[in-house]
Amino acid sequence: GAGVSQSPSNKVTEKGKDVELRCDPISGHTALYWYRQSLGQGLEFLIYFQGNSAPDKSGLPSDRFSAERTGGSVSTLTIQRTQQEDSAVYLCASSLGSPSGSDTQYFGPGTRLTVL
Amino acid sequence: ILNVEQSPQSLHVQEGDSTNFTCSFPSSNFYALHWYRWETAKSPEALFVMTLNGDEKKKGRISATLNTKEGYSYLYIKGSQPEDSATYLCAFIRGSTLGRLYFGRGTQLTVWP
């Protein structure tokens, strides 16, 4: 079956513009996660969604970042008024059930965001 | 800040060599340790999920061990092949924030033919 897909694969934008990154999780997966990897850094947690529960937004670096998940499936990560430090690879992952330590998270290929 | 450290940062070996990397993590509030392989231009691929102290997992030529009391995990690759070239990531899950992976920076492995 299809894995996690993300679009666009690359995005170049100018400082101050808004961007939207999209994630399509694996069908049937109820948990969805966003991470990012900035240059020279490890993967950093941003946010996760589980079913209809309130998302855990504790990893979002500023109020310019927001995410939503519509119909329990597709998710959009929005970055407003982009800054150069937002340049990173943004990865989405999904897992089968409630977030648990032993659930495998399946990752998409990522969106490489470059803010000029 | 939760520190997950991986060493070495990079490693170059010849085809056929065996190699190993280390992941260290906080030993308190441990829940699980994940290993991933991330090849350039591809998605990170899950290798192992380890939850019990003393766990040993194996997948082909790759194996991993876990020591939760002292907070480390080793990943071993036996008879490295060029296709093993990738960045190997470990990620820690603590009991109070299930589902949230705390990643190390990875070990970048290059296997020369």
For residue A64, with 0-12 CB atoms within 10 Å meaning exposed, 13-18 middle and 19 or more buried, which class applies? middle
Cβ contact, residue pair B46, A105, below 8 Å: yes
Best mutation target among B35, B43, B87, B96 (most A Cβ atoms within 10 Å) is B43
Q: Tell me, what's the pLDDT at A100?
A: 64
Q: With contacts defined as CB-CB under 8 Å, which chain A residues touch B97?
A: 56
Q: Tell me, what's the pLDDT at B12?
A: 96
Note the pLDDT tens digit of each residue in A53-95: 888 899 999 999 999 998 878 999 999 999 999 999 999 999 9
Start-to-end C-alpha separation, chain A:
37
Percentage of chain A beyond pLDDT 70 is: 96
Cβ contact, residue pair A56, B100, below 8 Å: yes
Q: With contacts defined as CB-CB under 8 Å, which chain A residues touch B101?
A: 33, 35, 43, 45, 105
Q: Do residues A107 and A6 lie in contact, with contact meaning Cβ atoms separated by under 8 Å? A: no
Q: With contacts defined as CB-CB under 8 Å, which chain A residues touch B93?
A: 101
Q: Tell me, what's the pLDDT at A103?
A: 84
